């Protein structure tokens, strides 16, 4: 099983600042990585797939990068609606695994 | 408009079998390059993938739960059914179904609202 490790567990950021979230895979997943945003009481929302492609309707302030085992989600200027938990997920094969999540909170 | 909706019991007893139904609209379960996945999330914890089923009826299961899971679909009813046997309190979670489509590399792009299942005697 491919283990996905996200860091940090919690990120405290002021509105308008940049947030950088990391995700590491225990073995190469090529670019088969997605990022999701989840707010309390809601289902996850797909932000990024293919490591760097924004899903439909996702603002340009969200960007993804990386390949192989190291990935990054960057939120260029945090808006109030961006405070949430973010998960990475590998789909390199049909046996998916998710990271444990990074909570982005207001500083 | 693509929607998915999970339904099933809110409470099951230990050792019982859980049956969840995902009813979809806005797309057909017979569409090529498309499928439905089940994912769960225990309260306050991370997401865990359970199973996929595709338009050609191909299926995949979580390795750790494979012996307990069965996924099937009824295309005429636009429904995907997941059964999980021998339920335990650790299986208490919100269960989501989600669409997967080749246009998004098969990353789940539309999710149901989720249904909370509690396992308790």
For the segment A103-107, the average pLDDT, to the nearest whole number, is: 93
Which is it for strands A10-13 and A102-106: parallel, antiparallel or unpaired? Answer: parallel
A51 vs B95: CA distance, rounded Å = 25
Residue A30 confidence (pLDDT) above 90: yes
pLDDT at B104: 87
Instruction: Tell me the per-residue pLDDT of B6-28, one tens digit each, with 9 for 90 and over.
Output: 999 999 999 999 999 999 999 99
A35 vs B83: CA distance, rounded Å = 28
Instruction: Tell me the per-residue pLDDT of B38-66, one tens digit each, with 9 for 90 and over.
Output: 999 999 999 999 999 999 999 999 999 99
Would you put residue B67 in left (φ > 0), alpha (ψ -120 to 50) or beta? alpha
- Of the ranges A10-14, B29-33, B47-51, which one carries the lowest mean pLDDT score? B29-33
According to DSSP, residue A3 is labeled: -
Instruction: Tell me the per-residue pLDDT of B70-107, one tens digit each, with 9 for 90 and over.
Output: 999 999 999 999 999 999 999 999 999 999 998 888 89
Q: Which of B58, B105, B109, B113 to mutate to test the interface with A (most CBs of A within 10 A)?
A: B105
pLDDT at A107: 86
- The alpha carbon of residue B12 is apart from the nearest alpha carbon of chain A, in Å, by 22
pLDDT above 70 as % of chain A: 100
* Token duo for residue A89: 């997920």
- Cβ contacts (< 8 Å) between B107 and chain A: which residues? 34, 46, 49, 55, 89, 91
Inform me whether the C-beta atom of residue B105 falls under 8 Å from chain A C-beta atoms. Answer: yes
């Amino acid at each position: 099983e491919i283990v996905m490790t996200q860091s940090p567990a919690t990120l405290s950021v002021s509105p308008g600042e940049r947030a950088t979230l990391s995700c590491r895979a225990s073995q190469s997943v090529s670019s088969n990585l997605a990022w999701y945003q989840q707010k309390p009481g809601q289902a996850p929302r797909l932000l990024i797939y293919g490591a760097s492609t924004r899903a439909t309707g996702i603002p340009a302030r969200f960007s993804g990068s990386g390949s192989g085992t190291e990935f990054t989600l960057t939120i260029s200027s945090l808006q109030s609606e961006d405070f949430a938990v973010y998960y990475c997920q590998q789909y390199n094969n049909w046996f998916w695994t998710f990271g444990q999540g990074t909570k982005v909170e207001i500083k | 408009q693509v929607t998915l909706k999970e339904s099933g019991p809110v409470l099951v007893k230990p050792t019982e079998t859980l049956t969840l139904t995902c009813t979809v609209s806005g797309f057909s379960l017979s569409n090529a390059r498309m499928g439905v996945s089940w994912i769960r999330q225990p309260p306050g914890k991370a997401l865990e993938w359970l199973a996929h089923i595709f338009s050609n009826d191909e299926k995949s299961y979580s390795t750790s739960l494979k012996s307990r899971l069965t996924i099937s679909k009824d295309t005429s009813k636009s429904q995907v059914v997941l059964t999980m046997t021998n339920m335990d309190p650790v299986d208490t979670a919100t269960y989501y179904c989600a669409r997967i489509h080749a246009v998004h590399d098969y990353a789940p792009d539309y999710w149901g609202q989720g249904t909370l299942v509690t396992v308790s005697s």
